[in-house]
Amino acid sequence: MSKVLVTGGSGFIGSHCILQLLAAGHEVRTTVRSLQREAAVRAMLEQGDAGSGARLSFVEADLERDAGWPEAVAGCDYVLHVASPFPPTLPKHEDELIVPAREGALRVLRAARDAGVKRVVLTSSFAAVGYGHSQQAAPFDETSWTNADGDDVQPYAKSKTLAERAAWDFIAREGGALELSVVNPVGVFGPVLGPDYSTSILLVQRLMDGAMPGCPQLHFGVVDVRDVADLHLRAMSDPAAKGERFLAVAGDFMSIRDIAVTLKERMGSAARKVPTLRLPNWLVRLAALRDPSVKQILPELGKRKNATSAKAQRVLGWSPRPNRDAVVATAESLVKLGLLKA
């Protein structure tokens, strides 16, 4: 088996990647910004039945600093670079997201190249694929790129686009023997392992808590975090993944109301607070004046997009769970861990 570095092991996707790597028999090293986080990460992994964790080690490294990265990649065959900032509200300046995402990716790639790592799998996003364009009838695929200079492109989408483009440019110009594969997930749902989870999970949590008065007219892709982790492992080990990017999406895009109705139908009394009323766009825009977290969704109100994972399924044999199952798994885990309001 191989030795694999996972950056951002405390994150939602990162922790599930660690679980699947350990289950497959690999030796895993993961980075955290502070080693004080090790106990919390191990507790999350125990929630996911990681076993003793004897083949898991930790190293302190920050995407905004050089220190720690040579030690992190030393002796590793592969790197899954998962870590990247995704705040629930708009930053004061877009560089707060762009700089650590782009420079962090380059920092990891340089260290991996210098250490003789075989391949890096970069976690990018649909945010680097399907934004800054006029609406199109055909589903987005891996040939599509977000127009980072487009009107209403939010800082997160810009950061993911510029970071991924910088990674491909690095490989082409100075990557040496290092290989790169990229995974571009849509909204990542599925079972949470603790209170430290992705921003997308907040949608289900707020619906279940009754914290939303209704459903904004938003559509986005859904995929289960376990399937995203599985795609990372396939992109890591399959020779056909060299130099390729892969969209991770399960089925057609869903509206927030689709998600709400799914929760109502399948979560029983636990979903009694979930609203199914469609909110008019003008009301959402009014709410954004008082709630900064609402402001960043405004450019997508009423837009319909879709994307396809046909390439990942054809090239890597990837087969994701249905998107509605991913939504339900999210809610079930929030209930199980007591992460909903009483």
Tell me which of 3, 92, 158, 160 is the catalytic residue.
Answer: 160
Pick the range with the lowest mean pLDDT from 3-7, 197-201, 294-298. Answer: 197-201
Average pLDDT for 231-241: 98
Which domains occur in the chain, in start order? Answer: 3-191+222-251+306-321 (3.40.50.720)
DSSP, residue by residue, 258-279: HHHHHHHHHSGGGGTT---PBP
Residue 245 CB burial class (10 angstroms; 0-12, 13-18, ≥19): buried
Answer whether residue 31 shows pLDDT above 90.
yes
Instruction: Give the pLDDT score at 54.
Output: 87
pLDDT category, 229, cuts 50, 70, 90? very high
- ∠ Cα 186 220 292 (to 5°): 100
Active site residue 160: yes
Q: What is the residue whose two structure tokens read 């487009």? A: 150
Average pLDDT for 315-333: 98
Contact 120, 112 (CB under 8 A): yes
Answer whether residue 84 shows pLDDT above 90.
no
Instruction: Give the pLDDT score at 85.
Output: 67
Instruction: Give the pLDDT score at 89.
Output: 64
| Whole-number average pLDDT of the chain | 94
SS3 4: strand
Answer whether residue 124 shows pLDDT above 70.
yes
Instruction: Give the pLDDT score at 96.
Output: 86
Q: pLDDT (tens digit, 9 = 90+) per residue, 244-285? A: 999 999 999 999 999 999 999 999 999 999 999 999 999 999
Instruction: Give the pLDDT score at 65.
Output: 94
Instruction: Give the pLDDT score at 275.
Output: 98
Instruction: Give the pLDDT score at 68.
Output: 97
Instruction: Give the pLDDT score at 334.
Output: 97
Average pLDDT for 87-111: 87
Instruction: Give the pLDDT score at 246.
Output: 99
Share of residues in the chain with pLDDT > 90 (%): 83
Average pLDDT for 314-342: 96
Instruction: Give the pLDDT score at 160.
Output: 96
Instruction: Give the pLDDT score at 267.
Output: 98
Answer whether residue 77 shows pLDDT above 80.
yes
Answer whether residue 168 shows pLDDT above 80.
yes
Alpha helices (H) along 180-255: 201-209, 225-237
Taking 3-state DSSP, the helix, strand and coil percentages for the chain, each rounded to the nearest 5, stand at: 45, 15, 40
Answer whether residue 3 shows pLDDT above 70.
yes
The distance from CA 240 to its chain's CA centroid, rounded to whole angstroms, is 22
Please list, in sequence order, all residues whose beta carbon lies within 8 angstroms of the beta carbon of residue 33, skipping any fewer than 6 positions away: 60, 61, 62
Calpha distance 266→274 (Å, rounded)? 12
pLDDT category, 291, cuts 50, 70, 90? confident
Answer whether residue 87 shows pLDDT above 80.
no
Answer whether residue 90 shows pLDDT above 80.
no
